[in-house]
Amino acid sequence: MSSLAAQLTALLPSATVLEPGESTSAYAHDESLLGSYPPHAIVLASSASDVQKVLTYAQSMRLPVVPRGAGSGKSGGAVPERGGIVVSLERMNRILEISPADGVAVVEPGVILETLQNAVEDQGLFYPPDPNSQAICTIGGNLAHNAGGPRALKYGVTKDYVLGLEAVLPTGELIKCGHRSWKGVAGYDLTQLLVGSEGTLAVITQATLKLIPLPRRAETLLAFFSSEDDAARGCQAVFAAGLLPRACELLDATVMQAVSGRAPFKFPEGVGGGLIVEFDGLDEGVMQEVVRAGEACQQAHALDVIVAQDESQRRRIWETRRMISPSLKAMRPDKLSEDVCVPRGRLVELIRAVRGIGKKHGLLTACYGHAGDGNLHVNLLFGSPEERKTSAAAVDEVIEAALSLGGTITGEHGVGMAKRGFVTRELGGEQIALQKRLKAAFDPHNILNPGKIFP
C-alpha cells in the first residue's frame, strides 16, 4: 500500500480507501472522452465527517481533491487531471426524508436521480430535473453541474429545486446554507453559488430539494418535417400558438437518417427533421394542448404528426429520442459533442451555421436536443484521426457561432476541462478575475478540483 493510502486508511476508519489499479480505472475518467488520469488514492466516503477529514488532510499536504458522483459528466469535471485524492460520494446514497407537508426531500449526494424520482412519485410528488443519464447520475453531480434535461423547458433546471445544502469547504469546515422553507432571502445566496460550481468550491454532503405535485397526465406528439429548418420553425410555431410544452426536442436530418431504420415508427418519405413535443398537467386540457401543438406544426408545413394514443406509444416516441446517440455511432464510430445554447429565436441560424461548418470541413454533423430552450447537442462525427483533428478545429467555429448568436458555450454539461479554453470568450477577463477571487476565498490553496472551469 502506498504511504498516502496507508495514511488515509488510518485517518478514515469508517471509509474505504482504494489505490489506483485495474479495478479502480473508472475513477480516472468520466464520459467526456478527455483522457484517463489515475488519482493517487480514492476515498469512498460514508459521512460528511469523512469528507471533512480528507479535506483537512489534503489542505495540510497541499494535495488536489476531486469530488465524484457517478462519473457520467461530459466535460471532464470529475477527472483527476492532477492526480491527488478522488472523494467518491457514491456510498452516501440515502434518501433521509420525503416530506409531503413541506414539499421537500432531504438527500445525501450519492442518491441516484432515478431512485429519488421513483421514491417521490410513489407519494404523488415530482422532482422535475431529468438529465437523460437519470438511471446512473447522482444528485451531487446534478447539483455541481446544475443539470438540465428535456423537462427544463417548462420546469427549469436543478438550481430551481435546491433549497438548502450542507457542504464541506476545502479548509475542512462544514457549512449549512439555504433553508427548508420554499422562500428565504437572508444574506448572500451561497446555495445558488455552490450549485453549478463544478466541485471547485465545496463538496456537497447533503441537499434539501423542492418537490411539487406530480402531473397526472402527459401527452406527446412526434412531428415529421421535410427539413431541420422547418422542424425548428415548427418549434417556434408551438410557442407562437401560446403553448408551453414540458419538452420540445428537435432531430435534424442526419439524426432522422440515423434512427429511421431502428425507430418503432415508419418515417414518411422525404423526412429531413423531427420534433418531439410533450405537455403535462392535471386533466383533459393536456390533450387539447397537444392537439393545438400538432395543428401549429402542420401550419409550419409538417409532413405528418403522430399523437401518442396511449402510454406505450408515448414511451416509443421517447425511445426514438434515446436511440439517437447509439444510432449516430453506427454512422461514424466517434463524435465530439457540444452542448451550446442560443436564444430560441436564433435556432434556425445556429442549425444553418453548423451545417455550413460541416460542409466547409467535409464533416458529417448532427444537431438534436432541447430546441425549446435553444440548447442543441451539436455533434461532429468522425471516423479517422484526420477527421478527429478537423472536428476539433470545427468545434471552435461552432462555439463562435453560438456566442455570436447571443448564446452560451454550455447549456448543461458544464465547463470542466472541455470548455475552459473557451470560457473567457463568453465571460470576459474581468468576470474571470472576479470568479478566481471567489474561488480563492473558498479555497486559498487551490486544492479542490484544481484546473477546472478556468482557462
Query: Would you tell me which residues interact with ligand FAD (CB under 6 A)?
Result: 30-31, 66-74, 77-78, 89, 109, 131-133, 137-138, 140-142, 144-145, 147-149, 198-199, 203-204, 412-413, 449
Least spacing, CB of residue 379 vs ligand FAD, in Å: 13
Nearer to ligand FAD, 74 or 314 (CB): 74
Nearer to ligand FAD, 30 or 219 (CB): 30
Q: How many CA atoms lie within 13 A of 120 on its CB side?
A: 31
Q: Strands 104-107 and 95-99: what pairing?
A: antiparallel
Nearer to ligand FAD, 128 or 131 (CB): 131
Q: How many CA atoms lie within 13 A of 212 on its CB side?
A: 12
> Assign residue 188 a region: left if phi > 0, alpha if psi is -120 to 50, beta otherwise?
beta
Is the CB of residue 184 less than 8 Å from the CB of residue 162? Answer: no
**Rounded CA gap, 358 and 381, in Å?**
9
**Rounded CA gap, 447 and 450, in Å?**
6
Least spacing, CB of residue 179 vs ligand FAD, in Å: 19
Least spacing, CB of residue 440 vs ligand FAD, in Å: 18
Least spacing, CB of residue 266 vs ligand FAD, in Å: 27
Which residue's Cβ has the minimum distance to ligand FAD?
A: 141
Least spacing, CB of residue 131 vs ligand FAD, in Å: 3
Element (H, E) at 93: none
Least spacing, CB of residue 349 vs ligand FAD, in Å: 23
Nearer to ligand FAD, 140 or 234 (CB): 140
Nearer to ligand FAD, 116 or 203 (CB): 203
Least spacing, CB of residue 29 vs ligand FAD, in Å: 10
Nearer to ligand FAD, 115 or 227 (CB): 115
Nearer to ligand FAD, 237 or 381 (CB): 381
Tally of residues, the chain: 455
Least spacing, CB of residue 9 vs ligand FAD, in Å: 22
Nearer to ligand FAD, 79 or 347 (CB): 79
Nearer to ligand FAD, 94 or 389 (CB): 94
**Rounded CA gap, 369 and 149, in Å?**
9
**Rounded CA gap, 241 and 220, in Å?**
17
Least spacing, CB of residue 88 vs ligand FAD, in Å: 8
Nearer to ligand FAD, 140 or 274 (CB): 140
DSSP 409-437: SBSSS--TTTSTTTHHHHH-HHHHHHHHH
Alpha helices in 323-422 (DSSP H): 324-331, 347-361, 385-404
- Single-letter amino acid, residue 23: S
Nearer to ligand FAD, 150 or 294 (CB): 150
Q: How far is CA 132 from CA 59, 247, 443, in A?
A: 36, 13, 32
List CB contacts of 257: < 8 A, sequence separation 6 or more.
331
Least spacing, CB of residue 367 vs ligand FAD, in Å: 15
Least spacing, CB of residue 10 vs ligand FAD, in Å: 24
Q: How far is CA 134 from CA 116, 128, 137, 246, 306, in A?
A: 10, 11, 5, 17, 26
First to last CA, the chain: 35
Say how far residue 361 (Cα) sits from the centre of its chain.
28
Cell of 47: 459521512
Cell of 276: 418531439
Residue 295 CB neighbour total at 10 angstroms: 15
